[in-house]
Amino acid sequence: METMMAIRLQDYGGPESLVYESAPRPTPGDHEILVRVRAAGVNPVDWKFCAGWMRERLLVDLPVVPGLDLSGTVVAVGRLARNWRVGDEVFGRTSLGGHGAFAEYAVAPADAFARKPPHLDHVHAAAIPTAGLTAWQALFGQEGANRGLEPAPGRRILVHGGAGGVGSFAVQLAKWKGAQVLVTGRAENGPFLRGLGADVVIDRESARFEDIAGVVDAVLDLVGGETLDRSLQVLSRGGAIASAVGSPSVEQAAERGVRIVPLWARTVPAQLERLATLVGDKVLRVVVSEVLPLAHARRALELSRGGQVRGKLVLEIGG
Ligand SMILES: NC(=O)c1ccc[n+]([C@@H]2O[C@H](COP(=O)([O-])OP(=O)(O)OC[C@H]3O[C@@H](n4cnc5c(N)ncnc54)[C@H](OP(=O)(O)O)[C@@H]3O)[C@@H](O)[C@H]2O)c1
């Protein structure tokens, strides 16, 4: 049996339940590819998964390798995964509870990847998938399905949690489309958020956003709780709200004439390619605040759980 070094979750719990150890190297099924992982992006869903938030829905057998986002090189291709060849450089997403990204090798569905262009290194490519797709789908909708928040000139969009992974993409994409972008965050993130294109930064610790934002056309909520509940008050009739964290009240939204944009990030390779192109065109910057070695995944998840990560954390794997 071939082995690899991996981070494995032995039992549900905090990041301390993660162990860096030797594990069997997975083999791809018919529609899958085996990727030599060069970098794995870290998302809040990783620590939530490890803490058992999805254990009843996913019914995963432990131990399991966590991690969703990765960039690497294809080393084996399933019998029916004809879109990739050995040696292709790809970035994309594994499945939650499957053979995760926090390992030297990962198996994932072949249709959950895009080609990694040469202008993107593995670290920056691995930082894109979940956060970039969530921002894209919130703003522009899911391919052929719902409408997004539709940033455009003359439209005011409020982003809660703009300094994080999803937010750092969303602020830039909304600005690219010409919207006026308002963002909530800690005061110390003000210059960073303005650098991403925020027109107005609201210090969430010293002010209530309702007192400063005025009326907005759209809200992207990346925080949840009472921030989400209070957001309906600042939306114009005909406005739209998307939350990556909670469910806006359907009754209150209907009462106020606000459209709810459903948001659950799906892996759409064409959108990954579009995001990568925008990075190449210098429209979009992938903000990576820290790169850690695979063995330090525990630390990365602790930081993520702390809720103050600026941009993205990425694990770099192998030389
Ligand atoms: N439904 C989906 O498909 C989906 C997809 C992706 C993400 N998500 C969820 O969406 C949330 C955001 O994801 P992410 O990757 O952007 O997380 P993240 O990178 O961990 O976001 C961290 C940022 O959130 C900001 N923040 C924390 N509390 C805040 C508050 N009360 N008000 C305003 N900003 C606050 C912090 O900025 P400051 O320090 O400046 O406050 C920090 O920079 C997570 O809960 C994640 O699980 C869901």
* Mean pLDDT confidence for 16-32: 96
Domain 3-128+286-316 and domain 132-261 have a common topology: no
Per-residue model confidence as pLDDT tens digits over 234-249: 999 999 999 999 999 9
Q: What is the mean pLDDT of the chain?
A: 96
Stretch among 145-154, 237-246, 263-272 having the lowest mean pLDDT: 145-154
181 contacts 202 by C-beta, under 8 angstroms: no
Q: Kindly compute the dihedral angle of the four CA atoms of residues 250, 256, 257, 260, in this order, to the nearest 10 degrees.
A: -40
Residues contacting 231, CB < 8 A, separation 6+: 158, 160, 219, 221, 241, 248
Q: Which residues pair with 243 in a beta bridge?
A: 221
Q: Which residues pair with 319 in a beta bridge?
A: none
- Four-way CATH pick for 3-128+286-316: 3.40.50.620, 3.30.413.10, 3.40.50.300, 3.90.180.10: 3.90.180.10
Q: Is the pLDDT of residue 77 over 70?
A: yes
**Residue type at position 222:** L
Q: Is the pLDDT of residue 187 over 90?
A: yes
Query: CATH says 132-261 is which class?
Result: alpha beta
- DSSP string for the chain: --EEEEEEE-SSSSGGGEEEEEEEPP---TTEEEEEEEEEEE-HHHHHHHTTTTHHHH-PPSSB----EEEEEEEEE-TT-TT--TT-EEEEE--TTSS-SSBSEEEEEGGGEEEPPTTS-HHHHHTSHHHHHHHHHHHH-STTS-------TT-EEEEETTTSHHHHHHHHHHHHTT-EEEEEE-GGGHHHHHHHT-SEEEETTTS-HHHHH-SEEEEEESS-HHHHHHHGGGEEEEEEEEESSS---HHHHHHHT-EEE-------HHHHHHHHHHHHTTS----EEEEEEGGGHHHHHHHHHHT---SEEEEE---
Per-residue model confidence as pLDDT tens digits over 85-105: 999 999 999 998 888 999 999
200 contacts 212 by C-beta, under 8 angstroms: yes
| Banded model confidence at residue 82, pLDDT cuts 50, 70, 90 | confident
Q: Is the pLDDT of residue 201 over 90?
A: yes
Task: Determine the pLDDT at residue 226.
Answer: 95
| Banded model confidence at residue 169, pLDDT cuts 50, 70, 90 | very high
Considering only CA atoms, which residue is closest to atom 44 of ligand 1? 44
Whole-number Å distance between alpha carbons of 194 and 199 = 7
Task: Determine the pLDDT at residue 1.
Answer: 86
- Give the distance (Å) from ligand 1 centre to CA of residue 126: 18
**Domain assignments of the chain as residue spans, ordered by start:** 3-128+286-316, 132-261
Q: Is the pLDDT of residue 303 over 80?
A: yes
Pocket lined around ligand 1, Cβ cut-off 6 Å: 43-45, 130-131, 134, 160-161, 163-167, 184-186, 189, 204, 222-223, 227, 244-245, 263-265, 304, 307-310
Share of the chain above pLDDT 70, in %: 99
Q: Is the pLDDT of residue 150 over 70?
A: yes
229 contacts 249 by C-beta, under 8 angstroms: yes
Task: Determine the pLDDT at residue 238.
Answer: 96
Considering only CA atoms, which residue is closest to atom 39 of ligand 1? 308
Q: Is the pLDDT of residue 50 over 90?
A: yes
Q: Is the pLDDT of residue 144 over 70?
A: no
Q: Is the pLDDT of residue 181 over 70?
A: yes
Considering only CA atoms, which residue is closest to atom 23 of ligand 1? 164
Tokens 């058992």 identify what position?
Answer: 52
Q: Is the pLDDT of residue 130 over 70?
A: yes
Ligand 1 atom at shortest distance from the alpha carbon of 263: 1
Backbone angles phi, psi at 123, to 5 degrees: -60, -45
Q: Which residues pair with 92 in a beta bridge?
A: 70, 113
* Mean pLDDT confidence for 110-121: 97
Q: Which of 42, 142, 166 has most ligand 1 atoms within 8 Å of CB, for mutation? A: 166
Q: Is the pLDDT of residue 143 over 80?
A: no
* Mean pLDDT confidence for 157-168: 98
